[in-house]
Structure 1
Amino acid sequence: MSTTHTSSPPPRDPVGRVPSAAAPSAAEPSGAPVAADTAPRPAAAPGSAPEPRSGLDPERPFGAHLRLAWWKPLLIIPGLLVAMVVLQTVLTLIVVLMEMAAFGRDPMDATISPLMMAVMNLGLAAMGPLAILVTALVARVPWRSLIASPRRASLRRGLVYAGAFSALVGVALALTALIDPSAAGIGQFAITSTTIGLVLVALLTTPLQAAGEELLFRGAMMPLLASWVRAVRPALVLGMIASSIVFGLVHMSVDPWLLSYYAVFGLCMAAMAVISRGLEAPIAFHVMNNLIMMVVGALFAGGGGIVIDRSVGMGGPVMLVFIVVDLVAVGLVWLYERSQRP
């Protein structure tokens, strides 16, 4: 066999890289020594399955950073929504039956008791990690990348946002109470054992519930929907709008003002996630919004359970106050994130 070397350029591998000088060439004898740290990986056996490819695309922004087969979101998203509805329905039915047997609760009573609030919040809280786990496994991505990417998640960032948003939501609630107290959940102030139970349950479980919804809708559903489009901007638009519409619909309000508010709320949370490249900001806003609303609702429920009425007529132009607050929160996130980047 001839060992004559030609002056032709070195061969390239399938992605266009020139082999390192330390790597053995095809012309070397089979017995040539090879350094242990430069030995090539053994070729895959013929017919063996290829190594799984990660669904994470680091070249795309957070919210549109997944690459996976088009049919996978069609399985994951409906499955998660069905699981959420079934879990909430089953837990609610169990609590109603328990309270009917123990306290003689009227099955048509729509008020939310402390136990009812606890199971509803924990049921939604459980959906968040489930959505992240399922999406990470199916897309073959690290679960952390669905919470923040390409940066790492930051507790400090979340606490900063929580402090700012608590003041913002408080101002919005005060303005709404002056304009329309019923829209702000302001009724008769009273403190009973039910009131204390509702406040405690709200403080302990509402942050988990709000975080669970953000993990589900902005952590999993938004990038799953965006994965259907390769162009970045249309992908972000699709993911943000579609996930926000679904978020609004699952709140099951038939009032146009309330339905619009929920959709805009979801869109603002999606914008915060994209701007900040993670979920700390939307989780912080969602937590402070729900927590303050539930605590105020418990304190001004006349000593009884909380009533959440989303029927026609329960919304109105006063919802524009909350919509403006959501938009202001997005602006604050943009300003803060801009100040943090070099």
Structure 2
Amino acid sequence: MSWWTPLVVIAGPALVMVGLQILLYHVVAVVEGSDDPLAATFTPLKFLAVNLSVGAAGVLAILLLAWTTGAPWRSLISSPRAFDARRLARYLLGAALLVGAGIGAVALVAPESPGWTTFAVTGTTIAMLVIIILTTPIQAAGEELMFRSAVLPAAASWVRAVRPALAVGLVVSSLAFAVVHGSTDPWLFGYYVVIGVCTGLMAIISRGVEAPVAFHIANNVLTTTVNTLMAGGGAFPLDRSTDTGDASLLILVAVTIGMVVLVRLRERR
């Protein structure tokens, strides 16, 4: 590729994702009668808008990289082997157990950190749960396709030697992943970088995106489900600007690293 082509692959889908989210937020504001489309609160329709825009950006990233390089799009999802749905299911089970244990540990050690209030089930809660189950896997897969299947190899193409290329791809894709999550808190930003590095390693170790997609789905589905059930029956807030450097992040980092270890052990078998 030309030196500037990876920049298009890195920035293009991310800008489309942000632009699409803002557009859909304004549509949702009209439907809901809200005067603040960008409020940091997830209503069911806003959550749907986020999930669909991220999924669309992931597909765009894969198609863009395949078009600019001539590489088969399937090779960007798994290579040299074919995509394996059974591998995805196994990793999804393992990730669900790890993430569930992590959420339980957070509830015991730092229950105030996630912003939980009281358990309640309302019409809003049910609508959120339906959207979480149906569309959060699309969002999780979209992020993995964008950052692990497209941004990582695109950035790595700037360097010819294999190991330096691997390092460059991991660093650039992880930083880009953290940036698009929009956190101004250094602790939370660092946590997103750790997720980016770990999911990148999962993809490289397993030669495909089944493992990182499975972890991302389990993490996002379970955490948003708990956040919804503990939001007092309303929409749960999303604040990525506050100081979050506490035990809860250390627990979540341990869960993420634990998934890398699980993938390594599984692939060695």
TM tier, smaller: over 0.9
Q: 1:280 pairs with 210, 216, 223, which one?
A: 210
Partner residue, 1:198? 128
Q: 1:304 pairs with 234, 240, 243, which one?
A: 234
Whole-Å separation in 1 of the counterparts to 2:268 and 2:238:
38
Partner residue, 2:24? 91
TM-score w.r.t. the length of structure 1 is 0.76
Which secondary structure state, in structure 2, belongs to the residue aligned with residue 318 of structure 1? helix
Partner residue, 2:190? 260
In the TM superposition, residue 106 of structure 1 has moved relative to its aligned partner by 4.7
Whole-Å separation in 2 of the counterparts to 1:162 and 1:93:
34
Whole-Å separation in 1 of the counterparts to 2:158 and 2:212:
23
- Whether the 8 Å contact between 1:217 and 1:243 is mirrored in structure 2 is yes
- Whether the 8 Å contact between 1:183 and 1:315 is mirrored in structure 2 is no
Supply the AA of the counterpart residue of 1:335.
L
Larger radius of gyration: 1
Is 2:111 aligned against 1:178? no
In the TM superposition, residue 268 of structure 1 has moved relative to its aligned partner by 0.3
| Aligned counterparts, 1:49-64, within 5 A | none
Whole-Å separation in 2 of the counterparts to 1:151 and 1:90:
38
- Whether the 8 Å contact between 2:211 and 2:263 is mirrored in structure 1 is yes
Which secondary structure state, in structure 1, belongs to the residue aligned with residue 238 of structure 2? coil
- Larger RCO (CA under 8 A, 6+ residues apart): 2
CA offset digits 1:263-291 (Å, max 9, x no partner): 10111000000000110000000000000
Is 2:252 aligned against 1:316? no
- Whether the 8 Å contact between 2:109 and 2:247 is mirrored in structure 1 is no
| Aligned counterparts, 1:241-260, within 5 A | 241-260=171-190
- Whether the 8 Å contact between 1:181 and 1:187 is mirrored in structure 2 is no
Partner residue, 2:15? 82
Supply the AA of the counterpart residue of 1:79.
G
- Whether the 8 Å contact between 1:185 and 1:296 is mirrored in structure 2 is no
The Cα RMSD (Å) is: 1.2
Supply the AA of the counterpart residue of 1:212.
G
Partner residue, 1:120? 50
CA offset digits 1:172-225 (Å, max 9, x no partner): 000011111132453200000000000010000001000000000000000000
The runs of at least 4 consecutive aligned structure 1 residues that moved more than 3 Å come to: none
- Whether the 8 Å contact between 1:73 and 1:224 is mirrored in structure 2 is yes
- Whether the 8 Å contact between 2:151 and 2:173 is mirrored in structure 1 is yes
In the TM superposition, residue 134 of structure 1 has moved relative to its aligned partner by 1.0
CA offset digits 1:134-162 (Å, max 9, x no partner): 11011101000000011111000000000
Whole-Å separation in 2 of the counterparts to 1:75 and 1:178:
44
Whole-Å separation in 2 of the counterparts to 1:135 and 1:316:
38
Whole-Å separation in 1 of the counterparts to 2:100 and 2:117:
17
| Aligned counterparts, 1:151-190, within 5 A | 151-190=81-120
Q: Which has the higher helix share?
A: 2
Whole-Å separation in 2 of the counterparts to 1:222 and 1:306:
32
CA distance change for structure 1 residues 84 and 189 in 2, over 3 Å: closer, same or farther? same
In the TM superposition, residue 129 of structure 1 has moved relative to its aligned partner by 1.0
